[in-house]
Structure 1
Amino acid sequence: MKDTKFSIAIHILSIIALNPNPVNSVEIAKSVGTNPSYIRKIMSLLKDLKDGGEIVSLKGMPNREFAKEMNMGLAKELLFNVAARKIEKEAKKRNQNYHFIFVQANGQQLEEAAKILEKNQIHPLIGNQYSLTEVNAALADVAHRKSLGKVIINF
Protein backbone atom coordinates (compact mmCIF):
# COMPACT_ATOMS: atom_id res chain seq x y z
CA MET A 1 0.00 0.00 0.00
CA LYS A 2 1.37 3.40 -0.96
CA ASP A 3 0.70 7.04 -0.24
CA THR A 4 -2.29 7.65 2.02
CA LYS A 5 -3.58 4.08 1.84
CA PHE A 6 -1.34 2.97 4.70
CA SER A 7 -2.32 5.80 7.04
CA ILE A 8 -6.01 5.35 6.20
CA ALA A 9 -5.68 1.61 6.84
CA ILE A 10 -4.23 2.31 10.29
CA HIS A 11 -7.01 4.83 10.89
CA ILE A 12 -9.61 2.18 9.97
CA LEU A 13 -8.04 -0.36 12.32
CA SER A 14 -7.94 2.22 15.11
CA ILE A 15 -11.61 3.12 14.67
CA ILE A 16 -12.57 -0.55 14.71
CA ALA A 17 -10.51 -1.11 17.84
CA LEU A 18 -11.89 1.90 19.72
CA ASN A 19 -15.56 1.37 18.96
CA PRO A 20 -17.38 -1.21 21.05
CA ASN A 21 -20.10 -1.40 18.37
CA PRO A 22 -19.66 -2.26 14.69
CA VAL A 23 -18.90 0.72 12.44
CA ASN A 24 -19.67 1.04 8.75
CA SER A 25 -17.76 2.56 5.87
CA VAL A 26 -19.88 5.74 5.93
CA GLU A 27 -18.91 6.49 9.55
CA ILE A 28 -15.24 5.76 8.89
CA ALA A 29 -15.26 7.84 5.69
CA LYS A 30 -16.56 10.87 7.60
CA SER A 31 -13.71 10.65 10.11
CA VAL A 32 -11.08 10.27 7.38
CA GLY A 33 -12.56 12.86 5.02
CA THR A 34 -13.11 10.60 2.03
CA ASN A 35 -15.91 8.59 0.46
CA PRO A 36 -17.23 5.24 1.73
CA SER A 37 -16.30 3.32 -1.43
CA TYR A 38 -12.65 4.29 -0.90
CA ILE A 39 -12.85 3.00 2.67
CA ARG A 40 -14.28 -0.32 1.46
CA LYS A 41 -11.44 -0.57 -1.07
CA ILE A 42 -8.83 -0.01 1.67
CA MET A 43 -10.58 -2.52 3.94
CA SER A 44 -10.35 -5.12 1.17
CA LEU A 45 -6.61 -4.39 0.90
CA LEU A 46 -6.22 -5.03 4.64
CA LYS A 47 -7.44 -8.57 4.03
CA ASP A 48 -4.62 -9.00 1.52
CA LEU A 49 -1.79 -8.20 3.96
CA LYS A 50 0.84 -10.89 3.80
CA ASP A 51 0.31 -13.75 6.24
CA GLY A 52 2.83 -13.42 9.03
CA GLY A 53 3.45 -9.77 8.16
CA GLU A 54 4.06 -6.83 10.45
CA ILE A 55 1.64 -3.94 10.97
CA VAL A 56 3.56 -0.87 12.16
CA SER A 57 1.67 2.24 13.22
CA LEU A 58 2.91 5.74 13.94
CA LYS A 59 -0.58 7.12 14.58
CA GLY A 60 -2.63 4.13 15.68
CA MET A 61 -3.32 2.79 19.13
CA PRO A 62 -0.39 2.21 21.53
CA ASN A 63 -0.26 -1.36 22.82
CA ARG A 64 1.17 -3.16 25.84
CA GLU A 65 4.45 -3.91 24.05
CA PHE A 66 4.94 -0.17 23.47
CA ALA A 67 4.26 0.64 27.15
CA LYS A 68 6.82 -1.99 28.21
CA GLU A 69 9.46 -0.65 25.81
CA MET A 70 8.89 2.89 27.10
CA ASN A 71 8.97 1.77 30.77
CA MET A 72 5.56 3.32 31.42
CA GLY A 73 4.61 1.02 34.28
CA LEU A 74 2.05 -1.70 34.79
CA ALA A 75 -1.02 0.59 34.83
CA LYS A 76 -0.32 1.93 31.34
CA GLU A 77 0.64 -1.53 30.11
CA LEU A 78 -2.78 -2.79 31.17
CA LEU A 79 -4.57 0.26 29.76
CA PHE A 80 -2.85 0.02 26.37
CA ASN A 81 -3.39 -3.75 26.36
CA VAL A 82 -7.15 -3.18 26.58
CA ALA A 83 -7.11 -0.27 24.12
CA ALA A 84 -5.28 -2.20 21.38
CA ARG A 85 -6.95 -5.55 21.99
CA LYS A 86 -9.18 -5.50 18.89
CA ILE A 87 -6.37 -4.46 16.55
CA GLU A 88 -4.05 -7.13 17.92
CA LYS A 89 -6.80 -9.77 17.80
CA GLU A 90 -7.51 -8.95 14.15
CA ALA A 91 -3.80 -9.09 13.32
CA LYS A 92 -3.41 -12.40 15.17
CA LYS A 93 -6.23 -13.94 13.10
CA ARG A 94 -4.06 -13.26 10.06
CA ASN A 95 -0.84 -14.40 11.72
CA GLN A 96 0.42 -10.81 11.82
CA ASN A 97 2.03 -8.68 14.51
CA TYR A 98 0.94 -5.16 15.46
CA HIS A 99 3.52 -2.61 16.62
CA PHE A 100 3.10 1.00 17.69
CA ILE A 101 6.01 3.39 17.28
CA PHE A 102 6.24 6.78 18.99
CA VAL A 103 8.12 9.17 16.74
CA GLN A 104 10.16 11.91 18.35
CA ALA A 105 11.82 14.80 16.56
CA ASN A 106 15.42 13.69 16.67
CA GLY A 107 17.94 13.41 13.88
CA GLN A 108 18.77 9.72 14.20
CA GLN A 109 15.13 8.65 14.20
CA LEU A 110 14.32 10.90 11.24
CA GLU A 111 17.29 9.48 9.28
CA GLU A 112 16.09 5.93 9.94
CA ALA A 113 12.55 6.83 8.88
CA ALA A 114 13.86 8.48 5.69
CA LYS A 115 15.86 5.34 4.82
CA ILE A 116 12.79 3.12 5.28
CA LEU A 117 10.64 5.43 3.14
CA GLU A 118 13.30 5.60 0.43
CA LYS A 119 13.98 1.85 0.46
CA ASN A 120 10.28 1.03 0.12
CA GLN A 121 9.64 3.88 -2.34
CA ILE A 122 6.90 5.37 -0.17
CA HIS A 123 5.92 8.86 -1.21
CA PRO A 124 3.29 11.10 0.36
CA LEU A 125 0.26 11.96 -1.71
CA ILE A 126 0.41 15.66 -2.54
CA GLY A 127 -2.95 17.40 -2.39
CA ASN A 128 -3.77 21.02 -3.09
CA GLN A 129 -0.97 23.59 -3.26
CA TYR A 130 -1.22 27.25 -2.25
CA SER A 131 0.96 30.35 -2.33
CA LEU A 132 1.86 32.14 0.90
CA THR A 133 -0.78 34.77 0.19
CA GLU A 134 -3.41 31.99 0.10
CA VAL A 135 -2.60 30.67 3.58
CA ASN A 136 -6.18 31.20 4.83
CA ALA A 137 -7.55 29.11 1.97
CA ALA A 138 -4.98 26.40 2.75
CA LEU A 139 -6.00 26.36 6.42
CA ALA A 140 -9.67 26.15 5.43
CA ASP A 141 -8.81 23.28 3.09
CA VAL A 142 -7.22 21.38 5.98
CA ALA A 143 -10.03 22.23 8.40
CA HIS A 144 -12.70 21.02 5.98
CA ARG A 145 -10.63 18.08 4.67
CA LYS A 146 -11.13 19.14 1.05
CA SER A 147 -7.74 17.89 -0.13
CA LEU A 148 -6.78 14.25 -0.40
CA GLY A 149 -3.12 14.22 0.58
CA LYS A 150 -0.73 16.79 2.02
CA VAL A 151 -1.68 20.46 1.66
CA ILE A 152 1.37 22.42 0.51
CA ILE A 153 2.07 26.14 1.02
CA ASN A 154 4.75 27.36 -1.39
CA PHE A 155 7.01 30.18 -0.27
Structure 2
Amino acid sequence: MKAFIVKSYGKKEKLHLTDWAEPTLKENDVLVQVYAAGVNSLDSLIRNGDFKLFLPYKPPFVNGHDVAGVVTKVGPKVSKFKIGDEVYSRPSDYRVGTFAEFISIDENDVALKPKNLSMEEAASIPLVGLTSWQALVEIANVKKGQKVFIQAGSGGVGTFAIQLAKYLGAFVATTTSTKNIDLVKSLGADLIIDYKTEDFETKLKEYDLVLHSNKDTKILEKSLRILKSGGQLISLVGPPTPEFATAIGLPWYLKLVTKLISLGTKKKAKKLSTNFVFLFMRAEGKQLGEITKLIEAGVIKPVIDNVFPFEQTNEALSYVETGRSRGKVVVKVK
Protein backbone atom coordinates (compact mmCIF):
# COMPACT_ATOMS: atom_id res chain seq x y z
CA MET A 1 0.00 0.00 0.00
CA LYS A 2 1.00 3.67 -0.34
CA ALA A 3 1.74 5.56 2.88
CA PHE A 4 3.34 8.80 4.09
CA ILE A 5 6.08 7.99 6.59
CA VAL A 6 8.34 9.87 8.99
CA LYS A 7 11.82 8.76 7.87
CA SER A 8 13.60 10.80 10.52
CA TYR A 9 12.61 13.46 13.04
CA GLY A 10 13.04 17.13 12.19
CA LYS A 11 11.15 20.38 11.52
CA LYS A 12 12.51 20.59 7.99
CA GLU A 13 11.75 16.95 7.22
CA LYS A 14 8.97 16.16 4.76
CA LEU A 15 6.82 13.06 5.04
CA HIS A 16 7.90 10.49 2.45
CA LEU A 17 5.38 8.80 0.16
CA THR A 18 6.43 5.19 -0.15
CA ASP A 19 5.28 1.59 -0.57
CA TRP A 20 4.59 0.19 2.90
CA ALA A 21 3.49 -3.22 4.16
CA GLU A 22 -0.27 -3.55 4.69
CA PRO A 23 -0.97 -3.68 8.45
CA THR A 24 -1.45 -7.05 10.15
CA LEU A 25 -4.55 -7.68 12.23
CA LYS A 26 -4.61 -8.50 15.96
CA GLU A 27 -7.59 -10.50 17.22
CA ASN A 28 -9.53 -7.39 18.35
CA ASP A 29 -8.62 -5.28 15.31
CA VAL A 30 -10.53 -4.08 12.28
CA LEU A 31 -8.72 -3.32 9.03
CA VAL A 32 -9.98 -0.02 7.65
CA GLN A 33 -9.55 1.11 4.07
CA VAL A 34 -8.80 4.79 4.48
CA TYR A 35 -11.08 7.10 2.48
CA ALA A 36 -10.03 10.33 4.20
CA ALA A 37 -7.65 11.44 6.95
CA GLY A 38 -7.81 14.58 9.08
CA VAL A 39 -4.63 16.67 9.36
CA ASN A 40 -3.66 18.02 12.79
CA SER A 41 -0.88 20.12 14.28
CA LEU A 42 -0.14 16.98 16.33
CA ASP A 43 1.07 15.35 13.09
CA SER A 44 3.66 18.14 12.73
CA LEU A 45 4.74 17.89 16.37
CA ILE A 46 5.21 14.13 16.05
CA ARG A 47 7.21 14.54 12.80
CA ASN A 48 9.33 17.30 14.39
CA GLY A 49 10.19 15.02 17.32
CA ASP A 50 8.62 17.41 19.86
CA PHE A 51 6.93 14.51 21.67
CA LYS A 52 9.61 11.84 21.31
CA LEU A 53 10.40 12.02 25.04
CA PHE A 54 6.82 10.96 25.87
CA LEU A 55 5.86 9.13 22.66
CA PRO A 56 9.09 7.54 21.45
CA TYR A 57 8.05 6.41 17.96
CA LYS A 58 10.94 4.80 16.15
CA PRO A 59 11.32 6.05 12.56
CA PRO A 60 10.37 5.00 9.99
CA PHE A 61 6.65 5.01 10.85
CA VAL A 62 3.40 6.13 9.22
CA ASN A 63 2.02 9.46 10.49
CA GLY A 64 -1.62 10.58 10.83
CA HIS A 65 -4.17 10.57 13.68
CA ASP A 66 -7.68 10.87 12.15
CA VAL A 67 -9.45 8.47 9.82
CA ALA A 68 -12.75 7.74 8.10
CA GLY A 69 -13.15 4.67 5.94
CA VAL A 70 -14.64 1.22 5.42
CA VAL A 71 -13.95 -1.99 7.36
CA THR A 72 -12.44 -4.57 4.97
CA LYS A 73 -11.34 -7.28 7.45
CA VAL A 74 -12.07 -8.12 11.09
CA GLY A 75 -10.04 -10.00 13.70
CA PRO A 76 -11.48 -13.25 15.15
CA LYS A 77 -12.59 -11.58 18.43
CA VAL A 78 -14.19 -8.47 16.90
CA SER A 79 -17.85 -8.17 17.95
CA LYS A 80 -18.84 -4.54 17.28
CA PHE A 81 -18.12 -4.19 13.56
CA LYS A 82 -18.46 -6.15 10.33
CA ILE A 83 -16.95 -5.94 6.85
CA GLY A 84 -18.52 -3.06 4.94
CA ASP A 85 -19.18 -0.83 7.97
CA GLU A 86 -18.40 2.85 7.44
CA VAL A 87 -16.38 3.97 10.48
CA TYR A 88 -14.21 6.74 11.87
CA SER A 89 -11.53 6.82 14.55
CA ARG A 90 -8.61 8.46 16.28
CA PRO A 91 -6.39 5.37 16.67
CA SER A 92 -4.49 4.81 19.93
CA ASP A 93 -0.99 6.17 20.40
CA TYR A 94 1.58 3.73 18.96
CA ARG A 95 -1.16 2.54 16.54
CA VAL A 96 -1.39 5.77 14.52
CA GLY A 97 -0.80 5.91 10.77
CA THR A 98 -3.83 7.27 8.93
CA PHE A 99 -1.83 8.83 6.08
CA ALA A 100 -2.02 5.49 4.30
CA GLU A 101 -4.38 3.38 2.20
CA PHE A 102 -5.11 0.98 5.10
CA ILE A 103 -4.82 0.98 8.89
CA SER A 104 -5.60 -1.63 11.53
CA ILE A 105 -7.31 -0.28 14.66
CA ASP A 106 -8.53 -1.86 17.91
CA GLU A 107 -12.32 -2.03 17.69
CA ASN A 108 -12.62 -0.20 21.05
CA ASP A 109 -11.14 2.90 19.38
CA VAL A 110 -13.62 2.88 16.48
CA ALA A 111 -17.19 4.20 16.03
CA LEU A 112 -19.70 4.07 13.21
CA LYS A 113 -19.40 7.11 10.96
CA PRO A 114 -22.24 9.64 11.32
CA LYS A 115 -24.72 8.85 8.53
CA ASN A 116 -25.18 12.50 7.63
CA LEU A 117 -21.46 13.18 7.00
CA SER A 118 -19.26 12.53 3.98
CA MET A 119 -16.01 10.61 4.52
CA GLU A 120 -14.06 13.88 4.37
CA GLU A 121 -16.33 15.53 6.96
CA ALA A 122 -16.14 12.47 9.23
CA ALA A 123 -12.34 12.35 9.04
CA SER A 124 -12.23 15.91 10.40
CA ILE A 125 -13.93 14.97 13.67
CA PRO A 126 -12.23 12.31 15.86
CA LEU A 127 -9.19 14.08 17.33
CA VAL A 128 -10.83 17.49 17.86
CA GLY A 129 -14.12 15.88 18.91
CA LEU A 130 -12.51 13.65 21.53
CA THR A 131 -10.27 16.49 22.76
CA SER A 132 -13.34 18.70 23.28
CA TRP A 133 -15.38 15.90 24.86
CA GLN A 134 -12.62 14.88 27.29
CA ALA A 135 -12.03 18.53 28.30
CA LEU A 136 -15.62 19.77 28.59
CA VAL A 137 -17.55 16.62 29.57
CA GLU A 138 -15.12 14.21 31.21
CA ILE A 139 -12.76 16.57 33.09
CA ALA A 140 -14.68 19.84 33.54
CA ASN A 141 -18.23 18.40 33.63
CA VAL A 142 -19.53 21.69 32.19
CA LYS A 143 -22.98 22.62 33.48
CA LYS A 144 -25.72 24.93 32.23
CA GLY A 145 -24.97 28.58 32.97
CA GLN A 146 -21.22 28.15 33.50
CA LYS A 147 -18.82 30.51 31.74
CA VAL A 148 -16.30 28.90 29.38
CA PHE A 149 -13.45 30.62 27.53
CA ILE A 150 -12.32 28.71 24.44
CA GLN A 151 -9.15 30.09 22.86
CA ALA A 152 -8.66 30.13 19.07
CA GLY A 153 -12.34 29.68 18.28
CA SER A 154 -11.89 29.34 14.52
CA GLY A 155 -9.32 26.50 14.78
CA GLY A 156 -9.96 22.76 14.63
CA VAL A 157 -10.60 22.22 18.35
CA GLY A 158 -12.20 25.65 18.78
CA THR A 159 -14.90 25.18 16.13
CA PHE A 160 -15.93 21.87 17.70
CA ALA A 161 -15.58 22.92 21.36
CA ILE A 162 -17.74 26.05 20.94
CA GLN A 163 -20.61 23.92 19.59
CA LEU A 164 -20.24 21.30 22.35
CA ALA A 165 -20.03 23.92 25.12
CA LYS A 166 -23.20 25.61 23.82
CA TYR A 167 -24.97 22.24 23.73
CA LEU A 168 -23.96 21.75 27.39
CA GLY A 169 -25.58 25.11 28.22
CA ALA A 170 -22.48 27.24 28.80
CA PHE A 171 -21.92 30.92 28.09
CA VAL A 172 -19.01 30.83 25.63
CA ALA A 173 -16.31 33.44 25.06
CA THR A 174 -13.66 32.97 22.40
CA THR A 175 -10.78 34.70 20.64
CA THR A 176 -10.39 34.95 16.88
CA SER A 177 -9.26 37.37 14.17
CA THR A 178 -11.58 39.91 12.51
CA LYS A 179 -12.18 37.79 9.41
CA ASN A 180 -13.44 34.82 11.47
CA ILE A 181 -15.87 36.67 13.76
CA ASP A 182 -18.92 35.66 11.68
CA LEU A 183 -17.80 32.01 11.69
CA VAL A 184 -17.49 31.72 15.49
CA LYS A 185 -20.73 33.66 15.95
CA SER A 186 -22.50 31.15 13.69
CA LEU A 187 -21.17 28.31 15.88
CA GLY A 188 -22.77 29.89 18.96
CA ALA A 189 -20.05 32.00 20.63
CA ASP A 190 -21.64 34.58 22.95
CA LEU A 191 -18.67 36.90 23.44
CA ILE A 192 -16.05 37.29 20.71
CA ILE A 193 -12.69 38.96 21.27
CA ASP A 194 -10.56 40.05 18.32
CA TYR A 195 -7.14 39.00 19.63
CA LYS A 196 -5.36 41.40 17.25
CA THR A 197 -6.98 44.51 18.71
CA GLU A 198 -8.36 43.48 22.13
CA ASP A 199 -6.95 42.00 25.34
CA PHE A 200 -9.16 39.19 26.64
CA GLU A 201 -8.01 39.79 30.24
CA THR A 202 -9.75 43.18 30.26
CA LYS A 203 -13.01 41.63 28.98
CA LEU A 204 -13.33 38.39 30.93
CA LYS A 205 -13.57 37.64 34.63
CA GLU A 206 -14.90 34.97 37.00
CA TYR A 207 -14.85 32.20 34.39
CA ASP A 208 -15.41 28.56 35.35
CA LEU A 209 -13.21 27.09 32.64
CA VAL A 210 -10.53 28.02 30.14
CA LEU A 211 -9.74 25.65 27.26
CA HIS A 212 -6.17 26.76 26.64
CA SER A 213 -4.32 26.23 23.35
CA ASN A 214 -1.72 29.00 23.10
CA LYS A 215 1.95 28.26 23.81
CA ASP A 216 2.71 31.84 24.92
CA THR A 217 3.38 31.72 28.70
CA LYS A 218 1.95 35.24 29.11
CA ILE A 219 -1.37 34.05 27.64
CA LEU A 220 -1.33 31.13 30.11
CA GLU A 221 -0.84 33.49 33.06
CA LYS A 222 -3.60 35.84 31.86
CA SER A 223 -5.89 32.86 31.37
CA LEU A 224 -5.38 31.75 34.99
CA ARG A 225 -6.20 35.27 36.20
CA ILE A 226 -9.63 35.38 34.51
CA LEU A 227 -10.80 32.24 36.34
CA LYS A 228 -12.95 32.42 39.43
CA SER A 229 -11.80 30.76 42.66
CA GLY A 230 -12.07 27.00 42.09
CA GLY A 231 -12.06 27.50 38.30
CA GLN A 232 -10.11 25.26 36.00
CA LEU A 233 -7.68 25.74 33.12
CA ILE A 234 -7.35 22.74 30.81
CA SER A 235 -4.31 23.10 28.58
CA LEU A 236 -3.80 21.28 25.28
CA VAL A 237 -0.26 22.61 24.84
CA GLY A 238 1.36 22.03 28.21
CA PRO A 239 3.36 22.05 30.26
CA PRO A 240 2.69 18.32 30.78
CA THR A 241 2.07 17.27 34.39
CA PRO A 242 2.96 14.26 36.59
CA GLU A 243 -0.73 13.26 36.46
CA PHE A 244 -0.44 12.99 32.67
CA ALA A 245 2.81 11.03 33.03
CA THR A 246 1.13 8.56 35.40
CA ALA A 247 -1.94 8.21 33.14
CA ILE A 248 0.16 7.16 30.13
CA GLY A 249 2.49 4.97 32.21
CA LEU A 250 5.75 6.89 31.86
CA PRO A 251 8.80 5.80 33.91
CA TRP A 252 9.67 7.57 37.18
CA TYR A 253 12.37 9.81 35.69
CA LEU A 254 9.94 11.22 33.10
CA LYS A 255 7.40 11.79 35.86
CA LEU A 256 10.11 13.81 37.57
CA VAL A 257 10.72 15.79 34.36
CA THR A 258 6.99 16.65 34.10
CA LYS A 259 6.95 17.63 37.78
CA LEU A 260 9.82 20.06 37.23
CA ILE A 261 8.48 21.64 34.03
CA SER A 262 4.93 22.09 35.36
CA LEU A 263 5.91 23.25 38.86
CA GLY A 264 5.85 27.00 38.10
CA THR A 265 2.45 26.87 36.38
CA LYS A 266 0.92 24.75 39.13
CA LYS A 267 2.21 27.17 41.78
CA LYS A 268 0.64 30.14 39.93
CA ALA A 269 -2.66 28.28 39.64
CA LYS A 270 -2.63 27.35 43.33
CA LYS A 271 -1.89 30.93 44.35
CA LEU A 272 -5.02 32.01 42.45
CA SER A 273 -7.07 29.13 43.98
CA THR A 274 -7.51 27.62 40.51
CA ASN A 275 -6.67 24.26 39.00
CA PHE A 276 -4.29 23.51 36.10
CA VAL A 277 -4.80 20.33 34.06
CA PHE A 278 -2.83 19.15 31.02
CA LEU A 279 -4.90 17.15 28.54
CA PHE A 280 -3.37 14.87 25.94
CA MET A 281 -6.45 13.28 24.45
CA ARG A 282 -6.75 9.49 24.18
CA ALA A 283 -8.51 7.21 21.72
CA GLU A 284 -12.01 6.27 22.90
CA GLY A 285 -14.57 4.65 20.59
CA LYS A 286 -17.41 4.88 23.12
CA GLN A 287 -17.06 8.67 23.42
CA LEU A 288 -16.86 8.92 19.64
CA GLY A 289 -20.17 7.04 19.53
CA GLU A 290 -21.71 9.75 21.75
CA ILE A 291 -20.31 12.40 19.40
CA THR A 292 -21.89 10.54 16.45
CA LYS A 293 -25.32 10.92 18.10
CA LEU A 294 -24.84 14.70 18.48
CA ILE A 295 -23.74 15.04 14.85
CA GLU A 296 -26.65 12.96 13.55
CA ALA A 297 -29.02 15.08 15.66
CA GLY A 298 -27.64 18.23 14.00
CA VAL A 299 -26.21 19.60 17.26
CA ILE A 300 -22.64 19.73 15.95
CA LYS A 301 -21.52 20.36 12.38
CA PRO A 302 -18.02 19.85 11.02
CA VAL A 303 -16.12 22.93 9.86
CA ILE A 304 -13.74 22.17 7.00
CA ASP A 305 -11.35 24.66 5.52
CA ASN A 306 -9.77 22.61 2.76
CA VAL A 307 -9.56 19.10 1.30
CA PHE A 308 -6.25 18.10 -0.31
CA PRO A 309 -5.61 15.05 -2.52
CA PHE A 310 -3.60 12.27 -0.81
CA GLU A 311 -0.48 13.05 -2.86
CA GLN A 312 -0.45 16.55 -1.35
CA THR A 313 -0.36 15.45 2.31
CA ASN A 314 2.82 17.48 2.89
CA GLU A 315 1.15 20.59 1.47
CA ALA A 316 -1.86 19.96 3.73
CA LEU A 317 0.46 19.71 6.75
CA SER A 318 2.28 22.91 5.77
CA TYR A 319 -1.07 24.69 5.50
CA VAL A 320 -2.07 23.53 9.00
CA GLU A 321 1.29 24.77 10.31
CA THR A 322 0.48 28.32 9.17
CA GLY A 323 -2.20 28.35 11.90
CA ARG A 324 -4.60 30.10 9.54
CA SER A 325 -7.05 27.31 8.74
CA ARG A 326 -10.71 27.84 9.61
CA GLY A 327 -11.73 24.53 11.15
CA LYS A 328 -10.12 21.37 9.84
CA VAL A 329 -7.95 20.34 6.92
CA VAL A 330 -8.45 16.88 5.41
CA VAL A 331 -6.70 14.68 2.83
CA LYS A 332 -8.85 12.57 0.51
CA VAL A 333 -7.19 9.16 0.19
CA LYS A 334 -9.78 7.22 -1.85
- Taking the aligned partners of 2:328 and 2:198, their CA distance within structure 1 comes to 18
Structure-2 change in CA distance of 1:153 and 1:50 (3 Å): farther
- Taking the aligned partners of 1:57 and 1:97, their CA distance within structure 2 comes to 11
The match for 2:279 is 101
Matched, 1:57 2:216: no
Q: Which residue of the other structure, out of 295, 305, 314, is the alignment partner of 1:128?
A: 305
Give the partner amino acid of 1:106: E
The match for 2:256 is 78
Tell me which structure has the larger Cα radius of gyration: 2
Which 4+ runs in 1 deviate beyond 6 A?
A: none
The structural deviation recorded for 1:79 is: 0.9
Structure-2 change in CA distance of 1:76 and 1:91 (3 Å): same
Q: Which residue of the other structure, out of 304, 319, 322, is the alignment partner of 1:144?
A: 322
The structural deviation recorded for 1:80 is: 0.6
Matched, 1:4 2:140: no
The structural deviation recorded for 1:52 is: 1.0
The structural deviation recorded for 1:51 is: 1.6
Structure-2 change in CA distance of 1:48 and 1:132 (3 Å): same
Q: Tell whether the 8 Å contact from 2:232 to 2:276 is kept in structure 1 after alignment.
A: yes
The structural deviation recorded for 1:148 is: 4.7
User: Percent sequence identity over matched residues?
Assistant: 27
Which segments of 5 or more consecutive residues in structure 2 lack a partner in the other structure? 1-148, 159-193, 202-218
Structure-2 change in CA distance of 1:102 and 1:129 (3 Å): closer
Aligned to 2:250, the other structure's residue is in SS state coil
- Taking the aligned partners of 2:198 and 2:328, their CA distance within structure 1 comes to 18
The match for 2:200 is 41
Structure-2 change in CA distance of 1:49 and 1:149 (3 Å): farther
Structure-2 change in CA distance of 1:41 and 1:96 (3 Å): same
Structure-2 change in CA distance of 1:130 and 1:68 (3 Å): closer
Q: Tell whether the 8 Å contact from 1:125 to 1:148 is kept in structure 2 after alignment.
A: no
Structure number with higher strand proportion = 2
Give the partner amino acid of 1:52: G
* RMSD of aligned alpha carbons: 4.4
Structure-2 change in CA distance of 1:129 and 1:51 (3 Å): same
- Taking the aligned partners of 1:54 and 1:47, their CA distance within structure 2 comes to 11
The structural deviation recorded for 1:85 is: 1.4
Q: How many residues align?
A: 124
- Taking the aligned partners of 1:78 and 1:138, their CA distance within structure 2 comes to 36
- Taking the aligned partners of 2:330 and 2:196, their CA distance within structure 1 comes to 26
Give the partner amino acid of 1:91: A
Give the partner amino acid of 2:253: A
